[in-house]
Amino acid sequence: MSNVYMKKSTRPKIFTTFFGLVMLFPFVWMITSSLKNSVEAFATPPTLLPKHPTLENYRHAFQAMDIPRLFVNSISVTVICVLLQLLTSALAGFAFARLNFRFKNVIFMLYLATMMIPFQVIIVPLFIEMRQLGLIDSLVGLGLPSVVSAFGVFLMRQAMLAIPRELEEAAILDGASHFRMFFSIALPLCRPTLAALAILASMSVWNSYLWPLVVIFSPEKMTFPLALANLQGEHLTDWPMVMAATTITVIPIAITYLILQKQIAQSFLTAGLKG
Amino acid sequence: MKKKSDGRAAALFIAPSLIPLLAIFVLPMIAAAVISFTSWDLLSPPHWIGLDNFQQLIHDKEFLHSLTNTLLYISGYLPMVYLLGLAAALALNRKFKGSGALRALYFLPVITSWVVVALLWKWILNPSGGLVNSALHTIGIQGPGWWTSKDWSMISVIIPSAWKDLGFVMLLLLAGLQAIPPEYQEAAAIDGASKRQILFKITLPLLTPVTFFVIVISLINNFQVFDQIWVMTAGGPEGSTNVVMGEIVQNSFNYGHMGYASALSMVLFLIIMIVTGVQLRLQKRWVNYE
């Protein structure tokens, strides 16, 4: 960036640094609160760092919810849904970008139209449908709405359109079938888009709250967001314990984010600008 | 070679997504429209009541209240998230030591779940013992009841929402800023334009397509706002943060009014379609450059 006209000013730098700390502070407060005893946590004036750090809240969090179970549920639902979403999206994306068939445009329009249906709008009939199928209060019912994504198909189609035609023609001359072409040429070339879709899909499944709230009742079938929300008491909430529980769930996400930061930002941009 | 039809292969490639898509999105969408003309509690079979649900919702005070609450929420959230996101994007649109880390920091809330964000801020804004009120108390100010008070509950859900989404808005605006050729601003600077003039006469006008895009997706997403509000206030106190989606969830899953809830869903769908339609119409007119 060579924005000469702003070169000398340091004010934006101070502003953004200060504001960056403001942005970060709620996370810092979450962690320090989780390490305080119940007296200090509610103290006035508030203390920034715990005077008598304790892990008691973490012990309570492990008692209040079955954390290993929640990890297993959240991770298995996320991994399976994301893999299926990648596969179904890539397959259809390949067909729309690379194959000739009747009604191609009509079917693709149907996908585009589906992209515009907000999930919130269909939640009532979807619940009724799952009820008919006997999938209420099951991880299958929880995951099913995330195994396909019209947006994913759209994204994969765009990526597959960019594959040079020469590669395809060479493969056809070699006698490769469509499936060979898909697996050995198209998929490897679309790795960046697959990664972007994987990131977006896994965040959306991992963080999902509304659908689990509707479809899951048993604590042993919950995923993290629902279980966390349920930690609140009817009248009184043990906030230091809740902060310990949220810290446990935020730390793995934050570490993943630090590692994949560039790709994550890029995938949001891809979604934003193409969607 | 190109013209031959690959019908059979195409069917195999498309079926794995088309069949679930029809079952999970298309069929429920049609069902929502049909159910909205019925009265159905799931216990007895649905019966057709024509437009009754829609006639009822026009006079339903709770629904109208949830609609105005949603608009109120958006009118607080959108300017806040846009202006702060713009400020962050303008300030971070240069490389300096730590600018990458700061961008990452601003983006951290974006990847955090709404439930965590809501719990975190609920604790920070806890009326007694929460960080904000304890700090205010220390300097002799009696803090408000935040999410427990019907006058402060709306701002209590707006602040966390803007905090979470700010990084996303910043990211889009940064991409927009970086698409502006620096020569424009340099040329203006050489001609003696002040920084303020460059900002208002060159940078911001060239940013209108991205701004427009940010506004449209914010509207589409936030007409459906639910998670953070449900966790923080469950629509309360006294319905002061009850939004349209909360009304749909309550009517369907608490009261068992599937028909009425579907009618409310159709209204929500209509609103979102109008926003999308306006976007499609105005898009061409708004784009200043490519």
* Structure confidence by residue, pLDDT tens digits, B197-221: 888 888 899 898 889 889 988 999 9
> With contact defined as beta carbons under 8 Å apart, do A137 and A217 qualify?
yes
Residue B96's pLDDT band, with cuts at 50, 70 and 90, is: confident
Residue B290's pLDDT band, with cuts at 50, 70 and 90, is: very low
Q: What ipTM, to 2 d.p.?
A: 0.90
Interface of A with B in 53-82 (CB under 8 A): none
Q: CA–CA distance from A125 to each of B26, B170, B206 (Å)?
A: 11, 36, 43
Least Cα separation, residue A164 to chain B (angstroms): 14
Average pLDDT, chain A: 89
Helix A67-98 with B7-21: angle, nearest 10 deg: 140
* Structure confidence by residue, pLDDT tens digits, A152-167: 999 999 999 988 888 8
Give backbone dihedrals phi and psi of B259, rounded to 5 degrees, phi first.
-65, -50
Q: Which residue has the higher pLDDT, A1 or B89?
A: B89
A1/B contact by beta carbon, under 8 A: yes
Residue B280's pLDDT band, with cuts at 50, 70 and 90, is: confident
In A, minimum Cα distance to B197 occurs at: A5
- Which range, A19-23, A243-247, B38-42, B205-209, has the best average confidence (pLDDT)? A243-247
Of B29, B63, B265, nearest to A113 by C-alpha is: B29
pLDDT over threshold 80, residue A5: no
Of A46, A258, A265, the CB nearest to B171: A265
* Structure confidence by residue, pLDDT tens digits, B240-257: 999 999 999 999 999 999
What value does the mean pLDDT take over residues B19-37? 95
What value does the mean pLDDT take over residues B226-236? 93
Place of tokens 């990847």: B111
* Structure confidence by residue, pLDDT tens digits, A51-92: 889 999 999 999 999 999 999 999 999 999 999 999 999 999
Contact A94 B13 (CB under 8 A): yes
Q: Which residue has the higher pLDDT, A13 or B220?
A: B220
3-state secondary structure chain B: CCCCCCHHHHHHHHHHHHHHHHHHHHHHHHHHHHHCCEECCCCCCCEECCCHHHHHHHCCHHHHHHHHHHHHHHHHHHHHHHHHHHHHHHHHCCCCCCHHHHHHHHHHHHHCCHHHHHHHHHHHCCCCCCHHHHHHHHCCCCCCCHHHCCCCHHHHHHHHHHHHHHHHHHHHHHHHHHCCCHHHHHHHHHCCCCHHHHHHHHHHHHCHHHHHHHHHHHHHHHCCCCHHHHHHCCCCCCCCCCCHHHHHHHHHHHCCCHHHHHHHHHHHHHHHHHHHHHHHHHHHHHCCCC
The pLDDT score that the predictor gives to residue B1 is 44
Residues of chain A contacting residue B103, judged by C-beta atoms under 8 Å apart: 265
Residues of chain A contacting residue B115, judged by C-beta atoms under 8 Å apart: 207, 209, 224-226, 228-229
Contact B266 A147 (CB under 8 A): no
Q: How many CB atoms lie within 10 A of CB B13?
A: 25
Of B87, B115, B189, the CB nearest to A228: B115
A120/B contact by beta carbon, under 8 A: yes
Contact A122 B42 (CB under 8 A): no
Contact B265 A120 (CB under 8 A): yes
Residues of chain B contacting residue A179, judged by C-beta atoms under 8 Å apart: 9
What value does the mean pLDDT take over residues A11-23? 82
Of A135, A76, A59, A233, nearest to B119 by C-alpha is: A233
**Residue in A2, A4, A5 to test binding to B, most B beta-carbons within 10 Å:** A5
Of A43, A91, A203, the CB nearest to B111: A203
Of A2, A120, A129, the CB nearest to B245: A120
Contact B6 A254 (CB under 8 A): no
Contact A207 B266 (CB under 8 A): no
Residues of chain B contacting residue A254, judged by C-beta atoms under 8 Å apart: 108
- Which range, A73-77, A111-115, A118-122, B274-278, has the best average confidence (pLDDT)? A73-77
* Structure confidence by residue, pLDDT tens digits, A25-51: 999 999 999 999 888 888 878 888 888
In A, minimum Cα distance to B260 occurs at: A124
pLDDT over threshold 90, residue A170: no
* Structure confidence by residue, pLDDT tens digits, B4-14: 678 888 999 99
The pLDDT score that the predictor gives to residue B286 is 58
Residues of chain A contacting residue B111, judged by C-beta atoms under 8 Å apart: 203, 253, 257, 264
User: In this structure, which amino acid lies at residue B268?
Assistant: L
Least Cα separation, residue A163 to chain B (angstroms): 15
Contact A94 B18 (CB under 8 A): no
The tokens describing A23, both together, are 């942005």
A253/B contact by beta carbon, under 8 A: yes
The pLDDT score that the predictor gives to residue B185 is 84
Q: Which residue has the higher pLDDT, B63 or B286?
A: B63
User: In this structure, which amino acid lies at residue A23?
Assistant: M
Q: Which residue has the higher pLDDT, A7 or A135?
A: A135
In A, minimum Cα distance to B21 occurs at: A148
Residues of chain A contacting residue B5, judged by C-beta atoms under 8 Å apart: 100-102
Contact B138 A46 (CB under 8 A): yes
Least Cα separation, residue B290 to chain A (angstroms): 13
pTM (2 d.p.): 0.90
Cα separation, B149 vs B159, in Å, equals 15
The pLDDT score that the predictor gives to residue B3 is 55
A188/B contact by beta carbon, under 8 A: no
Contact B116 A225 (CB under 8 A): yes
* Structure confidence by residue, pLDDT tens digits, B105-129: 899 999 999 999 999 999 999 998 8
A130/B contact by beta carbon, under 8 A: no
Least Cα separation, residue B204 to chain A (angstroms): 15
pLDDT over threshold 60, residue B270: yes
Least Cα separation, residue A196 to chain B (angstroms): 14
Instruction: Count interface pairs A-B at CB distance under 8 A.
Output: 298
Least Cα separation, residue A128 to chain B (angstroms): 8
Q: Which residue has the higher pLDDT, B13 or B192?
A: B13
Exposure letters B17-38 (e unless 16+ CB within 10 A, then b): bbebbebbbbebbebbbebbbb
Q: Which of A156-170, B16-30, B160-174 has the lowest mean pLDDT?
A: A156-170
Contact A178 B9 (CB under 8 A): yes
The pLDDT score that the predictor gives to residue A1 is 44
User: In this structure, which amino acid lies at residue B252?
Assistant: S
Least Cα separation, residue B30 to chain A (angstroms): 9
The pLDDT score that the predictor gives to residue A169 is 81
In A, minimum Cα distance to B232 occurs at: A229
